């Protein structure tokens, strides 16, 4: 049972929403669900693997999905993965890549290559210099840092980056309240138009921009005019700004924990738009979560730990809200209990190219919608 009896669709202002379809994967389920604005299931993929941590649709309608591998990482590190799959609309596997060190996020580029976040061991001579972190919390006696592989459709590594070669032990110190096993615990990756790569370095409270040609760090944001607190999910807007979910965990001098969604002008290092709840403590997800800007200037937000998705206007008015009704026992780490948590939600327009020729009929899933659909 959910802690709250509120579930499914709770609010829908169809005139002010950006109407479409919503894709999400409950963190403790193996199914990826596509629902309409009324919360009715119209399609799903049974992937056979718990997410590590989400999937999204490609322009051809295929699902690209990270699956969780059964390794020691899965019970120690949050966000562990291990597989990248691509499934067609009917659930047939058309691509698979395996790497037990993959985690959190991936990004399919226009050229067909896929960027994947992964862990690797930091050499001792560097690890001994890294500042911060809770003492005596290493994993297998080692410090681990982010690395990135860009893999081709044939599974070959086309480009790679090792964080420990470019992170600075002083500038990129670990948050003193976070465990010391991971140097930067990157949870999100984004390819920029010029091929540079942006990641979220969560324990550093920062967006980190990597020069694709040299591997050097060419930008850090989040500890200047804009102060981030363990954020997730940066997305690049048409105006060149970044939208990001700022979780709020370990936020300095906060009277009470709270999350926010902000738009950052990177050139000016300032916030140009922000959403917070009028009662800030009621909007708070210390982990996971994300936000997506919509063509009508609304924003759809995933408050991940509560499995809550909602759409807000530029003025902060909520015009749609849906709460994942599926609560499943956490069998991997055993810490979440009966959880309806979701890493991210993705909104697609009715004319999305991947839906061409596809049937999106909730009547085909009446058995599901009778259980979880609108009341």
pLDDT at position 328: 83
Average pLDDT score over residue span 292-303:
98
Name the pLDDT band for 76 (thresholds 50, 70, 90): confident
The closest alpha carbon to 183, from 245, 138, 250, 214, belongs to 138
Q: Could you tell me if residue 128 is inside a domain?
A: yes
Percent share of the chain, pLDDT over 70:
96
Q: Could you tell me if residue 4 is inside a domain?
A: no
Query: In the 8-state DSSP scheme, what is residue 9?
Result: E
* Measured distance CA(113)–CA(150) in Å, rounded: 6
pLDDT at position 374: 81
* Measured distance CA(279)–CA(213) in Å, rounded: 45
- What is the span of the domain harbouring residue 267? 109-275
Residue 340 has pLDDT above 80, yes or no: yes
Residue 72 has pLDDT above 80, yes or no: no
Name the pLDDT band for 324 (thresholds 50, 70, 90): very high
Dihedral angle sign, alpha carbons of residues 196, 199, 203, 204: positive
CA atoms within 13 A on the CB side of 35: 26
Q: Could you tell me if residue 139 is inside a domain?
A: yes
Mean pLDDT of the chain: 94
Q: Could you tell me if residue 248 is inside a domain?
A: yes
Residue 5 has pLDDT above 70, yes or no: no
Q: Could you tell me if residue 24 is inside a domain?
A: no
Q: Which of 120-129, 227-236, 324-333, 351-360 has the lowest mean pLDDT?
A: 324-333
Residue in the block written with tokens 């070669």: 165
Q: Could you tell me if residue 82 is inside a domain?
A: no
pTM of the complete model:
0.96
At residue 267, φ and ψ (nearest 5 deg) are: -65, -40
* Cα 155–Cα 159–Cα 165 angle in degrees, nearest 5: 130
Query: For the chain, what is the domain count?
Result: 1
* Measured distance CA(102)–CA(119) in Å, rounded: 6
pLDDT tens, position by position, 142-181: 999 999 999 999 999 999 999 999 999 999 999 999 999 9
Residue 3 has pLDDT above 50, yes or no: no
Q: Which of 94-103, 154-163, 270-279, 366-375 has the lowest mean pLDDT?
A: 366-375
Name the pLDDT band for 373 (thresholds 50, 70, 90): confident
Residue in the block written with tokens 């979701």: 342
pLDDT tens, position by position, 223-269: 999 999 999 999 999 999 999 999 999 998 777 889 999 999 999 99
Residue 2 has pLDDT above 50, yes or no: no
Residue in the block written with tokens 């005019």: 225
**Under 8 Å between Cβ of 88 and 62:** yes
CA distances from 32 to 26, 50, 326, 346, 371 (A): 7, 10, 12, 11, 17
Q: Could you tell me if residue 347 is inside a domain?
A: no
pLDDT at position 357: 97
pLDDT at position 74: 64
Percent share of the chain, pLDDT over 90:
88
* Measured distance CA(315)–CA(13) in Å, rounded: 15
Q: Could you tell me if residue 29 is inside a domain?
A: no
């Amino acid at each position: 049972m959910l802690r709250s009896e509120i579930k499914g669709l709770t609010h829908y202002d169809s005139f002010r929403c950006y109407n479409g379809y919503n894709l999400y994967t409950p963190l403790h389920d193996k199914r990826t669900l596509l629902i309409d604005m009324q919360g009715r299931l119209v399609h799903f993929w049974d992937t056979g693997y718990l997410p590590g941590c989400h999937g999204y649709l490609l322009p051809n309608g295929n699902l690209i999905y990270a699956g969780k591998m059964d390794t020691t990482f899965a019970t120690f590190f949050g966000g562990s993965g291990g597989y990248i799959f691509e499934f067609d609309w009917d659930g047939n596997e058309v691509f698979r890549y395996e790497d037990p060190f993959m985690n959190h996020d991936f990004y399919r580029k226009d050229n067909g290559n896929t960027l994947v976040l992964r862990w690797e061991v930091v050499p001792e001579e560097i690890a001994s210099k890294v500042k911060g972190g809770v003492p005596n919390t290493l994993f297998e006696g080692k410090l681990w840092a982010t690395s990135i592989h860009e893999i081709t459709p044939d599974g070959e590594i086309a480009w790679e980056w090792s964080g420990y070669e470019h992170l600075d032990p002083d500038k990129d110190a670990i948050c003193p309240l976070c465990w010391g096993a991971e140097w930067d615990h990157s949870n999100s990756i984004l390819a920029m138009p010029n091929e540079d790569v942006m990641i979220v370095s969560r324990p550093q409270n920062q967006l980190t921009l990597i020069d694709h040609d040299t591997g050097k760090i060419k930008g850090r944001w989040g500890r200047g005019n804009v102060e981030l607190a363990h954020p997730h999910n940066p997305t690049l807007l048409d105006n060149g700004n970044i939208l990001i979910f700022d979780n709020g965990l370990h936020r300095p001098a906060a009277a009470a924990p709270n999350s926010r969604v902000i738009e950052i002008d990177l050139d000016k290092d300032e916030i140009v738009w922000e959403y917070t709840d009028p009662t800030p403590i009621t909007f708070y997800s210390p982990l996971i979560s994300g936000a997506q800007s919509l063509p009508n200037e609304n924003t759809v937000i995933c408050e991940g730990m509560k499995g809550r998705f909602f759409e807000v206007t530029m003025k902060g008015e909520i015009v749609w809200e849906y709460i994942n009704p599926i609560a499943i026992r956490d069998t991997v780490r055993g810490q979440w209990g009966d959880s309806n948590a979701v890493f991210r939600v993705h909104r697609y327009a009715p004319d999305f190219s991947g839906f061409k020729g596809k049937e999106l009929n909730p009547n085909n899933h009446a058995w599901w919608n009778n259980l979880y659909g609108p009341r």
